[in-house]
């Protein structure tokens, strides 16, 4: 489990499973390197709601990965995230959390939001 913090605001920190956070980190770097802003939506634990964040080079974003070892990133998840980030609706992480178990194995079935608002 890692953490994404938006705009240096502790109230905008989200715990995200490593299997989602690691490809997200590369998607964010890819988009920002190209100076392409995009919308990122994260689920709010226990509410059924979500928060949308505008990801742009001018907004501070911190990604903390706590895993001591980084396994290979799932290319299918990365490609789908990048496609969504390029879309007009942006990237919605709620659709990705059901793709992996906590063990890191693919589930294949969409599930709950799996994100914990810290």
* Confidence (pLDDT) at 48: 84
Residue range 81-114, pLDDT digits in tens: 999 999 999 999 998 876 543 333 333 333 344 3
DSSP 94: G
pLDDT value of residue 99 = 53
pLDDT at 86: 96
Structure tokens at 108: 């294949």
Structure tokens at 90: 């942006």
10 in Cβ contact with 82 (< 8 Å): no
- pLDDT digits over 68-81, tens only? 666 678 889 999 99
Residues 19-61 pLDDT 10s: 899 999 999 999 999 999 999 999 988 888 999 999 999 999 9
Query: DSSP class of residue 73?
Result: P
For the cut 90, the answer to whether the pLDDT of residue 116 exceeds it is no
Q: Is the CB of residue 98 less than 8 Å from the CB of residue 114?
A: yes
Please say whether the beta carbons of 97 and 113 come within 8 A: yes
């Amino acid at each position: 489990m890692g953490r994404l913090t938006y705009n240096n605001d502790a109230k905008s920190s989200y715990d995200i499973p490593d299997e989602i956070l690691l490809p997200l980190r590369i998607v964010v770097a890819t988009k920002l390197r190209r100076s392409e802003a995009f919308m990122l939506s994260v689920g709010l634990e226990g509410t059924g709601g979500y928060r949308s964040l505008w990801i742009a080079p001018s907004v501070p974003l911190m990604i903390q990965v706590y895993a001591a070892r980084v396994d290979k990133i799932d290319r299918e998840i990365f490609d789908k995230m990048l496609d969504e980030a390029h879309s007009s609706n942006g990237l919605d992480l709620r659709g990705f959390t059901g793709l992996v178990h906590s063990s890191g194995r693919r589930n294949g079935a969409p599930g709950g939001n799996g994100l914990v608002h810290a």
